[in-house]
Amino acid sequence: MFRQRRIPLAWRNLTENKWRLAASTAGAAFAVVLMLLQNGFRNALLDNMSALIAHMDGELFLTNRLRYMVSHPAPFPRRRLDQSRGADGVRAASPLYIDPEQSKWRNSLTGISRGIRVVAFPPRDDVLDLAAVRSQRDDWDRPDVALADDRSKETLYGPLRAGTVSELQGKRLRIAGTFTLGTDFRSNGTLLLSEQNMLAYYPERRGGSWGETAIDVGVLRLRPGADLARVQEDLKARLPADVIVLSKPEFLAKEQQFWENAAPLGAVFNIGVVMGFIVGLAICYQVLFSEISDRLAEFATLKAMGYSNRELLLIVIAESVYLALLGFGAGLAVSVGLFRWLQDLTGLEMSLKPGGLALVLTLTVAMCVLAGSLAARRLLAVDPAELYG
């Protein structure tokens, strides 16, 4: 009988005072927003820092062995790309050039030059799977012309739209159109050049350190039916040790592992989730402690009627779970709006992933249940005889 009424009693305790319910839910929701934001920034870090890799249209990739992240300047000689074409199963091998934030783009409005990321490849090779890039290949496959990422920060670079004319590396450049890639924690904007224009604006690339063209990534496409693992092993045996051969999942994992484990930003966001949990624990403890204190006489009456400490504790835990679910729902609703605003403000792709949502929901329930258990200590210690004596 009691077990059938325990949960309704917990719900009624929580919802009887609407103002207190709103304040309690807001407190739990605040902690949820903190944790979701930190989780969202962590997702943005991993997704945006690896976005360029994610859009590379290939099955295998060549990089310098010393390249620990895609934006680290560590090129390799183009002949490695030529050598890979001879491997059985390789259909095409294309060069990809990346100049991370070292190129200087002149703001056409202010005249100030700022670093911008430059990516380049032969337009006919379709190295990136972006539809806007492929549909405009005739426009940017011309001298002194580029495409611009429409999420580049206009406050830094000025207008980057079709028809804009300014300077890259002190040379005239016209924007022929735009595409969407997104910014990240290192790059505030991106220009896309043809290989011909890349070598014209960066003539030092032609000589490299080896007397030949220096490229950053080799994008390999395999023939239909080719065994990826076998081709990868063949390339590893064929190519010198100065390059490594990665599948796309390996390339993505390497980039994301660097930013999550080696770079301090990943640790900062993980610590932020922990801090959100601690803040929420303190808030929920105060809320539930106040709730129990105000109802101490009612709980003492139940205790005098024969209810055990375990049964009273279960009422508090049920109330804690209800508070967690209400707080999570409210916090999630607020976070969705915040994510959209932050995405528009920063250009970063902010996402709520099922795994992250499940983690924050679990942490929220654990936070509220722990807070309720701590707050219930006073209830468990109360003596009805002393209270009414």
CA distances from 334 to 25, 156, 269, 339, 341 (A): 12, 30, 19, 9, 11
Using CA atoms, how far apart are residues 382 and 304, in angstroms rounded to an integer?
11
Q: Of all helices (H) and strands (E), which one includes residue 220?
A: strand 217-222
pLDDT in tens, 320-356: 999 999 999 999 999 999 999 988 887 788 888 899 9
Q: How far apart are CA 101 and CA 93, in angstroms?
A: 26
Contact 265, 45 (CB under 8 A): yes
- Measure the CA–CA gap between 72 and 226, rounded to whole angstroms: 31
pLDDT band at 100 (very low <50, low <70, confident <90, very high): confident
Count of positions (residues) in the chain: 389
- H helix runs in the chain, sequence order: 2-15, 18-49, 51-54, 79-84, 131-135, 137-140, 154-157, 195-201, 204-207, 228-238, 248-257, 264-294, 296-304, 309-346, 354-375, 377-381, 384-388
Query: What percent of the chain has pLDDT above 90?
Result: 59
Comparing C-alpha atoms, which of 185, 131, 183 is closest to residue 157? 183
CA distance 107 to 116: 11
Of 250, 266, 270, which Cα lies nearest the Cα of 258?
Answer: 266
Q: Are 105 and 86 in contact (CB under 8 A)?
A: no
Write down the pLDDT at residue 388: 55
Report whether 143 contacts 198 (CB < 8 A).
no
Which two structure tokens, joined as six digits, stand for 27?
């407190």
Which whole-number Å values give the CA distances from 97 to 43, 64, 71, 160, in the listed order?
26, 13, 10, 21
Q: Give me the mean pLDDT over the 87-93 stretch.
A: 93
CB 85 within 8 A of CB 93: yes
288 neighbors 323 (Cβ within 8 angstroms): yes
pLDDT at 125 over 50: yes
Average pLDDT estimate for 82-107 = 91
Domain ranges of the chain: 2-49+263-388, 66-240
pLDDT in tens, 232-276: 999 999 999 999 999 999 999 999 988 888 767 777 888 888 999
C-alpha–C-alpha distance, residues 43 and 256, integer Å: 10
Predicted confidence (pLDDT) at residue 1 exceeds the cutoff of 50: no
Nearest to 9 by CA among 377, 268, 278, 322: 322
Place of tokens 């490849």: 121
Query: pTM for this structure?
Result: 0.80
244 vs 187: which has the higher pLDDT = 244
